[in-house]
Amino acid sequence: MPEMELKLVFDEADLARLRTLPGLRDKLEGAQPARSHAIYFDTPEKYLWKRGLALRVRRTGDVSIQTIKQEGCALLERGEWERRINWDPSDAPPRPDGTMINETPFADVIDKAVRARLRPTFEVDVQRVAFMVTEGNAAIEVAIDRGRIKSAGAEREALPVSELELELKRGDKQELFTLARELTAHAPLHLSLISKAERGQRLVDGLWGHPAKASSPRLEADMTGEQAFSAICRACLNDFMLNAAVLTSKSSPDPVEAIHQGRIALRRLRAALALFKPMARDDAFARMNDELRRLARLFGEARDRDIMLANAPETSLAASAAAANDFSTWLERRRLAARETAREAAQSERWRIFLIDFSEWIDCGAWRRRPSGHHLEPVAQFIRRRLKKRLAALLREARDLAELDAGAQHAVRIAAKKLRYMAQFFVGVSGVADRKPMKRLLGGLDKLQSCLGVLHDDEASLTAARTDIGLWRAEVGDVGPLALEAAARWTTPKQDGKKWLEQALEAYSEVAEAEPF
């Protein structure tokens, strides 16, 4: 049965502020915390995790509850099956209850052979305070979890847990978002789609706290358009949240890659909106897209600075050791300022409220209540037609690629990248495209955008360097000849434009000949 909940995460330092929130203060004063200890199970090869499933046994007091959760296509809902079981946590090794598994739709998926290989993978130990509140016509359970997640195997540092969960027990699910907005307006709460199961799995894999590459949404040919759109948005938002967590941590191990992958997640999300626009367009559509564009621009500015510094002329870097006020040092300060702007934007109240608004729009927006013919047809048929149209438009736009100016070539690059994102969502979904031609298309699009990207990055870096040199000199004042000579090297082209354009033309031919639709 579906579970409807929103999760808000907070910093432990803000707990005192949470205790003063309207609607929670009185409830918290009388609530008694209960210790909850959960063990999550999977096979050594992560059989359940790869299928979007999580199996746990949670013990609170003398009561043990076994639960199977399934990743849902909606942002708000997940499949959940649970039952009280007789379980002795002292068993070595502890094992889940097979009878309960047989009572769920996953009896064949988690068969006897799989059950024999199940092992504890990580544990979640929290103190939970839970109570009921009313919001409009809804009854909502509020649960505050504080504790840690630790690996059951390798010795890894435990992850802290500070979460506030809102679970709908009765009434209109939009009231969940209303309550989440009210709470977030009074405290630095962050909406999170990252489950404890995912945090635990990334901890076990040694990946928590590191940038995350783009994930693939779980799509099926028999999904409706609404379901596919929600699943894609969920995957992209989850990717962004993983990278934002890295960027905003006190000791980010790789902020450059977190900016890069966070920007990709935002771009993929905007590509999804463009792909499903005929279906999802309503009065709120433009506002959602505009806010995503705004944050993507800030991440893009930080990414451009990272690329520029990564391609720094070696001579200028050597010169920087001799002069504290040289151009490369000034550029590094600008890079750090751009990164900080992106970081602050991802933590701002504006963005935190927007995430709640966007999630509500995906799950409950007007576009869902005004279904068009696109909502009724199979998603594979709708997507095949949309991708075919986008491909035809790209081929027309890039027909005279060698004759286009830099701005027009960059527009082709963006169109190719967006089409690649759109098509990648549906790789392997039956009825969308023929497999081999789709592979050729994606390869050609990747090559086309990469070649044009080299040309654009080189041209953009030269233009930015010329502008920055003027700003640098105006800010610093008199500079020595060595620093001026070093700065001038930033305005020297680094790439063979002819070579990359020839490769882009080859890629265009590959895209034109693929014919996957």
Are residues 194 and 323 located together in one domain of the fold? no
C-alpha–C-alpha distance, residues 361 and 383, integer Å? 21
Tell me the C-alpha distance between 345 and 219, whole Å: 31
Residue 319 has pLDDT above 70, yes or no: no
Nearest to 517 by CA among 456, 435, 453: 435
Pairing of strands 53-60, 63-70: antiparallel
The string of pLDDT tens digits covering residues 456-469 is 888 888 889 999 99
**Nearest-CA neighbor of 275 among 394, 383, 432, 371?**
383
Residue 453 tokens, joined: 């990207």
- Domain-embedded: residue 228: no
d(CA 76, CA 168): 10
Q: What is the CATH number of the domain that holds 484?
A: 1.40.20.10
Q: Is residue 268, in this structure, part of any structural domain at all?
A: no
| 274 found inside a domain | no
As a whole number, mean pLDDT of residues 491-500 equals: 82
In a domain, 189, yes or no: yes
Q: What percent of the chain has pLDDT over 90?
A: 73
Residues 187 and 295 grouped into a single domain: no
Q: Are 383 and 494 within one domain?
A: yes
Shared-domain flag, residues 318 and 188: no
Residues 367 and 458 in one domain: yes
Percent pLDDT > 70 in the chain is: 95
- What is the C-alpha to C-alpha distance for residues 298 and 350, in angstroms, rounded to an integer? 14
Q: Measure the CA–CA gap between 314 and 512, rounded to whole angstroms.
A: 40
State whether 309 and 197 are in the same domain.
Answer: no
Within this chain, do residues 297 and 195 fall inside the same structural domain, yes or no? Answer: no
DSSP E strand boundaries for 46-136:
53-60, 63-70, 77-85, 119-135
Q: Read off φ and ψ for residue 259, nearest 5 degrees.
A: -60, -45
| Structural domain total, the chain | 2
89-147 pLDDT per residue, tens:
677 677 899 999 999 999 999 999 999 999 999 999 999 999 999 988 999 999 999 99
Structural domain includes residue 435: yes
Q: Is 259 inside any structural domain?
A: no
Domain boundary among 162, 192, 208: 208
- Residue 386 included in any domain: yes
- Given a cut of 80, whether residue 30 has pLDDT beyond it is no
Residue 112's domain is classified under what CATH number? 2.40.320.10
From 220, 213, 216, select the one nearest 232 (Cα to Cα): 216
Give the residue from 182, 208, 234 where a domain finishes.
Answer: 208
Distance CA 301, CA 464 (A): 11
List the domain range (segments joined by +) for residue 334: 289-514
**Chain-wide mean pLDDT for the chain?**
91
With residue 366 as reference, give the H or E element that holds it.
helix 366-369
* Residue 284 belongs to some domain of the structure: no
pLDDT of residue 32: 86
* pLDDT the model gives residue 324: 42
Last residue of a domain, one of 187, 208, 229: 208
Separation of alpha carbons 144 and 162, rounded Å: 7
